[in-house]
Amino acid sequence: MFSWLGTDDRRRKDPEVFQTVSDGLKKLYKTKLLPLEEHYKFHEFHSPALEDADFDNKPMVLLVGQYSTGKTTFIR
C-alpha cells in the first residue's frame, strides 16, 4: 500500500542534485503531482496547473488588520 515509503536503492546511490530549490520543486511537480492532478481532473474544478513562473516568482503575502496595528512597521 505504501510502497513509495519504502527504501529505494537507486535513489540512495544516485541522488538528484538541483541548482536551486525552485528547479527541484518544478521537476517534482511535473513528474509526480501534475500527472495525478490531470488524472483526477483537478484543474477543472479547483485551480489551473502551475507554470514555471509560479515557482520562480517571489511569494505574495496579504496583511490584513485594523488601523494602527503595525502592518507598515512589519513591512519595514
- pLDDT by residue (tens digit) across 34-71? 999 989 988 888 888 888 888 888 888 888 888 888 88
Contact 43, 37 (CB under 8 A): yes
CA distance 55 to 57: 6
CA distance 69 to 30: 41
In the chain, what are the domain boundaries? 19-75
pTM score > 0.85 for this model?
no
Contact 20, 41 (CB under 8 A): no
CA distance 20 to 27: 11
Q: Which of 56, 52, 50 is nearest to 20 (CA)?
A: 56
